[in-house]
Amino acid sequence: MEKSLENKKFLFLKNLAGKINSSVEMNQILQEAVSGLIDILKLQCASATLWNEKTKKVTHQIASGAIEKLKILHDFDQQVMEALRKQIHMDSIYVTLDIEGGHSAFCFPVKMNGHKVGLIAGLAEGYRNLSQEAELFEAVSHQLGIAFAKSSLWEGKIEGEIQENLIKSERLKAIIETAVTINHEVNNPLAAVLGYVQLILSKSENLDSDTIQKLKKIETGALRIKEVTNRLLKIVEPVIVKYAGEVRMVDLQQSKTKENET
């Protein structure tokens, strides 16, 4: 059975974070981001670019997808890139292009410590409202910002404690944005499931004891999921632990939240 779209997004962000927290090269991380966006959003092509914040020179650029469409995307994101590197006050861009039957395109900046140091871009066939995927683009953007902070590309080369704090800040942003997405996409249908279960349990006199116990387990599980997503939203100081191999995860019990912050 094919994974749901939201589940695919979650696994994509999880795998991307795993690569960033391991020793994977920057090009591989960018390729992972580009390929994931193409697959999840059914894009015809996509690209990811990073440049040196001080010199404005491109350091890494990865593009993938239909060759005949890459030229359209290249012409589009080159114009956006030029504007961003001049520090023009512009953020995400969503446009429709009346080319070859119509296309939709997006550009979303990659930020590092408030500086625009790159962008992710993509092209889809037809007229689509890609702004609906803004949460996904922002989550990917912050993940790449974390990778950028850990790389040696940034000429500022922030050292020691400042660099560590910067990485922590970007990691927290990525966690919060992922949590917001999960909270929105999971808790909404979860509320319906919980509501129906509790409604059925309110009429338990018509149910046998085995069915009641199973429904109570569903209720407990649903409440636990809700508790986890809400706790993710309250994290102010994440504790990252190894999960399996090079993959890491947030330890919800050890992480400091708004409730236990001192």
Between these two residues, 63 and 21, which has the higher pLDDT value?
A: 63
How large a percentage of the chain has pLDDT more than 70? 81
- Tens of pLDDT, residue by residue over 173-209, are 777 677 777 767 777 788 888 888 888 888 878 788 8
Give residue 153's pLDDT: 45
Q: What is the per-residue pLDDT for 261?
A: 53
Does the pLDDT of residue 255 top 70, yes or no?
yes
- Starting at the edge strand found earlier in the chain, the sheet holding 45-51 runs 58-65, 45-51, 115-125, 103-112, 93-97
Q: Residue 199: what pLDDT?
A: 87
Q: Which of 143, 134, 118, 178 is nearest to 16 (CA)?
A: 143
**Record: fold of 5-157:** Beta-Lactamase (3.30.450)
pLDDT, tens only, 206-254 = 788 888 899 899 989 888 888 887 777 777 777 777 766 666 777 777 7
pLDDT at residue 156 tops 60: no
> 75-110: per-residue pLDDT in tens?
877 777 666 555 556 678 898 888 878 899 998 989
Tokens of 204: 């338990």
Give the model confidence (pLDDT) of 114-123 as tens digits.
Answer: 778 888 999 9
d(CA 123, CA 42): 9
- For the cut 70, the answer to whether the pLDDT of residue 155 exceeds it is no
> What pLDDT does 117 receive?
85
- Residue extents of the structural domains in the chain: 5-157, 174-257
